Structure formats: structure tokens, C-alpha cells
Amino acid sequence: MPDIYQLIPQRPPIVMVDVLWSANEAVAETGLTVLEDNIFVRNGHLREPGLIEHIAQSAAAFAGYGTFARGEEPRLGYIGEIKDCQLLALPAVGDALRTTIRLVAEAGGIRLISAETKVKNEIVANCLMKIFLKE
């Protein structure tokens, strides 16, 4: 898999994906290890906006995999909508997040994705998200 910086436009300290574990046209798996100096960590736990940002950047990495394969630069993505969102637990420092992103549908430059984030096989977050990818 390509280096994550080849797939997403974000740069430290706002990078919320460490690795793209796998990807194809329909589904991707990403990872993030929560570090103490993560800007979304408070009192030893990754806060809710950090989980959402991790999912959004996972979706960006998924899209970036496609652009990388075509030899293009990663595109900026904007969250258009989040729905059916469940944040079930706040991962602790040291936890490894594993997120599965599935492409539900795509139209007019908008990608509808479903996301499920697990820590040690326990679901900590899931949602549907619309991402607008800037041309």
C-alpha cells in the first residue's frame, strides 16, 4: 500500500490516519494508533471530533487510493453530511483503531460511504457520511 501522505492531503498535526491496510473499488480498511500528543486527545482518550475526523480521513484515503492509482494528487474532501452516527466508546491512548469504509453510492461528485471503526474487535463508532471531493 502507498504511504498515507500519498493518499490524503492533510499534514501533521491534523493527520488522523496512519495506514491504509487494504483497498479496492468498493471497500477499504485503515488504521490509526492513538498517541498522547494527538490534538483530539483529552484526559487520555480520543474525543468525539477525533473519531469523526478519523472516519472522514479514512474515506479520503479510500478516495486517494483511486487517484494515486491514476497518478493524480490526492483531492481535498469536505464532509457534506453525517447520519445514523453512533459513537459507542472513546478510544484510549495506545489503542489501535481499525476502520472499514464501504462505498454505498456516488453521484455528482458526492460519495456516500458507510464506516465502522473497531478497537480490539469492538465497534466504537459507525456512521454514514457524505464526502464532497474537490476537483
Cβ 131 to another protein shortest distance, Å: 10
- Taking contact as CB under 8 A, which single stretch among the options 7-15, 28-36, 57-65, 106-114 is the one that binds another protein? 106-114
DSSP state of 4: G
Binding-site member from 111, 115, 119, 133 for another protein (CB under 8 A): 111
DSSP H helices, the chain, are 48-69
Count of residues engaged in binding another protein, rule: CB under 8 A: 13
Which of residues 1 and 128 has its CB atom nearest to another protein in the complex? 128
Q: Does 80 bind another protein (CB under 8 A)?
A: yes
Phi, psi of 2 (to 5 degrees): -65, 160
DSSP state string for 91-114: PBTT-EEEEEEEEEEEETTEEEEE
